[in-house]
Amino acid sequence: MITATMKENFSYRLWRYDGAPGELIPLLQSAQEHFGYIPIRAINYISGVTGIPESDIYGVITFYSQFRLRPMGKYIIRACAGTACHVSGAKMIIETIEDELGIEVGDTSEDGMYTLNTVACIGCCSLAPVIMINDETFGRLTPASLRKLLREHIRKSGEKADSAAGVSCGG
């Protein structure tokens, strides 16, 4: 039986590819879903199956901001840089994150925990300025409240990592 999760699966999608046009972007999306980014071997696979030259695939990847060629952190912080957030001080918010985590926009922290990106608009303009950490949205931020939020988040994620490590050691 083919389940819904299998349908989304990268290798299933590749296997099912029947030459129908317009499948490249969905394939890349599922590769990114699967690997967390698009590794070179995924480009090799896709090119091998579809016959689309690797250079063309690379061209499509670099055209769209969704696709990335490097692995990302466990937590992806997306700072909104849309108009509403911008007029509500998004620049300060982004600088605060950069300062607190010691990374710049587009970078991943050394421990592989946080990646900082900006997005054009999350669509929560009434809560501006807004950031997202993975799927959670945080709004009406000030540099001070954001620092508190980030420290809290780092502490909690550190605890989680520690306890997870503890379990694996014990097990």
Partner 1 sequence: MKTIVVGMGTCGLSAGARVVFEKLEELTDANPDISHLTISGCIGMCYREPLVEIRDDGSRVFYGGVTAESAEKIFESHVLNNERIEDDNLVYIIERDGSTSGSEADFLDLQERIVLRNCGTINPESISDYVESGGYESLKKILFRMSPEEIIQEVKNSGLRGRGGAGFPTGLKWSFAASNEADRKYVVCNADEGDPGAFMDRSVLEGDPHSVLEGMIICARAIGANFGYIYCRAEYPLAIHRLEIALSEARENGYLGKDILGSGFDFDVKIKQGAGAFVCGEETALFASIEGERGMPRIRPPFPAEKGLWQKPTNNNNVETYANIPWIIANGADAYAAFGTEKSPGTKVFALAGKVVHGGLAEVSMGTTIDDLVFRIGGGIKEGREFKAVQMGGPSGGCIPASLKNTPVDFESIPATGAIMGSGGMVVMDDTTCMVEIARFFLDFTQNESCGKCTFCRIGTLRMLEILERLTRGEGIPEDIKKLEQLSIQIKEASLCGLGQTAPNPVQTTIRYYLDEYLAHINDKHCPAGSCLALVEFSIDADKCVGCTICAKNCPVDAISGKVKEPHVIDQEICVKCGKCITSCNFNAVITR
Whether the Cβ atoms of residue 100 and residue 150 lie closer than 8 Å to each other: yes
Candidate residues 11, 35, 70, 99; the one interacting with partner 1 per rule CB under 8 A: 99
Mask for 19-38, x = binds partner 1 (CB under 8 A): --xxxxxx-xx---------
Q: How far is the CB of 41 from partner 1 (least distance, A)?
A: 20
Q: Which residue has the tokens 């480009």?
A: 43
Residues 134, 127: Cα–Cα separation, whole Å: 17
Helices 24-35, 40-50: axis angle to 10 degrees equals: 150
- Across-strand partners of 77? 116, 133
Q: How many residues bind partner 1 (CB under 8 A)?
A: 45
Side-by-side strand order, sheet with 131-133: 114-119, 75-80, 131-133, 136-138
Query: What is the footprint of partner 1 within residues 125-164 (CB under 8 A)?
Result: 125-128, 130, 137-139, 142-144, 147-148
Told to check if 92 binds partner 1 by CB under 8 A, we report: yes
Count the neighbouring beta carbons within 10 Å of the beta carbon of residue 6: 11
Told to check if 87 binds partner 1 by CB under 8 A, we report: yes
The contact set with partner 1 (CB under 8 A) reads 21-26, 28-29, 59-60, 63-67, 81-84, 86-88, 92, 95-96, 99, 119-128, 130, 137-139, 142-144, 147-148
